[in-house]
Structure 1
């Protein structure tokens, strides 16, 4: 398998990162995950733009343009002959002696590789159970940084509870999942947390809101209370790899009738059609 390392395609076995890379020691970096359909990097523009924005927020100066990066990523999926899967992209601040502060002029280390994705068909069709947990993360969740320790801990807790995801609650209000955005439907209105520093404004989230507007479905970007979540008619989550998944059980309690709801199914269908139309246009 080929990987992209600092602008060069090479075998994975040739790729090496120094032990004092700040991403390895401090989580000092940013990342993206991009879905590949039909040999096409879906919503590539949006992912690359957010990658640059996240890097700028933590003052990493990437040594290439967005167009140059897009070209390199396309070459990577061609080299690996990927038709369906995912691409992981990461930039760290670079290598320096281990101190919290860092010297000027560090060269960022940029890595990308492709990986397989198993489409969660059963979960998309039948729904999943989730748990709720306190949101104790830092207050810049809008930056897609490598600092994911709390997410990892809570995701593992959900896994050990035989749940697909954990929905996070801060000061009584629902923010997002450990690796997903969260939506609730009440009286046919779709609610989701506004794009503030308390959530990551997911690329799939942005796409869904655009599709929701185009279809004329009512929605509000409003922080829901946990009680509102528990009493919703429908709940669903979204992410790049999972797409749209209905939530049918929260903390052991059924959501609505306990089966995927009609609005959720409509949103799923709208996204599927969008993916097909976009990837067909670029294939």
Structure 2
């Protein structure tokens, strides 16, 4: 076969009986041009990516790829986490990074870099991206090199990270949720932020099919667990903030931060108290207010569950107060929570 940018091979007949031809790329230049067509013009949604496979930061979206023989891709052996870039600051990066490494340890993945190096890479990536409002998502994979069930023969784990451009708004309108019929993850996997999000996605899709915004998982004991990718919290009829225990679900960084900040409202007399515990479905549906808590929200009011209103069916006043409390921390919190991005 003569060398050329690309050629075609005859494949089985298409459904309409016509011959379907598959393009074969014999050179990387033609393939790169094809990939670049996917993101025409600017701005690009992914302004920068880091790959330990490449050993550096990529600014061309077409090159932001993961090898097909990566264990995270073909076996689901990987963990991830996300930090927020807000107004040029990384919010709670250290907290998310610590959870990231706990997840990696539970998944038996050894990082190719120490925590300080991972932190430095992520800060440099954010700076190189030029993004001032977006998310910084990063992964640890067991490694690449084969399609086997064990990473035993792989030389090293792999670290990837990408900046996703996009701003954030306070979610002040209430949403509707349903009880999910999709089985939730067992505590071993639910408490580890791993890349297996098929149950989460099916739960979200189920809610959308029912014309709801999201769903709520119930554990085997009949207690409320979590949402597809968020924690759940309540305001009781007595004015107490209740977050659900983290023994069977992921310990959300925003939920943990809310637990640190909410006592201020107790001191001011707005809240009666703050606690972590179990909540039955009956107790939850009978609460005065209900909300999701997550990094990109940071709080989303829930006004209806399974077709029945929560409280009076309107966004709760205390929910909004808690939202403002977390939002203020995100935009003007202490240096321990906010790292300035050193843009070039």
TM-score (norm 1): 0.93
Deviations 1:93-148 (A, max 9, x none): 01143232331554112111111335354xx2121111111443232211000011
Paired with 1:279 and 1:12, the residues of 2 have a C-alpha distance of: 34
Work out whether 1:192 is the aligned partner of 2:243.
yes
Contact 1:93–1:106, Cα closer than 8 Å, also in 2: no
Structure 2 unaligned segments of length 5 or more: list them: 1-46
Tell me the CA shift for residue 16 of structure 1. Answer: 3.7
Contact 2:112–2:159, Cα closer than 8 Å, also in 1: no
Contact 1:42–1:279, Cα closer than 8 Å, also in 2: no
Q: How many residue pairs align between the two structures?
A: 280
CA RMSD of aligned residues (A): 1.8
What SS class does the counterpart of residue 232 from structure 1 fall into?
coil
- Indicate the residue corresponding to 1:148 in structure 2: 197
- Indicate the residue corresponding to 1:55 in structure 2: 104
Equivalent of 1:262 in 297, 302, 317: 317
Q: Where in structure 2 are the equivalents of 1:179-218 lying within 5 Å?
A: 179-186=229-236, 187-196=238-247, 198-216=248-266, 217=271, 218=273
Distance 1:282 1:44, change over 3 A: closer
Tell me the CA shift for residue 213 of structure 1. Answer: 2.5
Paired with 2:309 and 2:134, the residues of 1 have a C-alpha distance of: 32
Instruction: Point out the structure with the larger helix share.
Output: 1
What SS class does the counterpart of residue 225 from structure 2 fall into?
strand
- Indicate the residue corresponding to 1:173 in structure 2: 223
Tell me the CA shift for residue 38 of structure 1. Answer: 1.2
- Indicate the residue corresponding to 2:129 in structure 1: 80
Work out whether 1:249 is the aligned partner of 2:296.
no
Contact 2:134–2:168, Cα closer than 8 Å, also in 1: no
Contact 1:20–1:95, Cα closer than 8 Å, also in 2: yes
- Indicate the residue corresponding to 1:4 in structure 2: 50
Tell me the CA shift for residue 72 of structure 1. Answer: 1.1
Which structure has the larger Rg over C-alpha atoms? Answer: 2
Deviations 1:63-110 (A, max 9, x none): 212221111111111111111111111111011432323315541121
Paired with 1:282 and 1:137, the residues of 2 have a C-alpha distance of: 33
Structure 1 unaligned segments of length 5 or more: list them: none
TM-score (norm 2): 0.77
Contact 1:190–1:219, Cα closer than 8 Å, also in 2: yes
The runs of at least 4 consecutive aligned structure 1 residues that moved more than 4 Å come to: 279-283
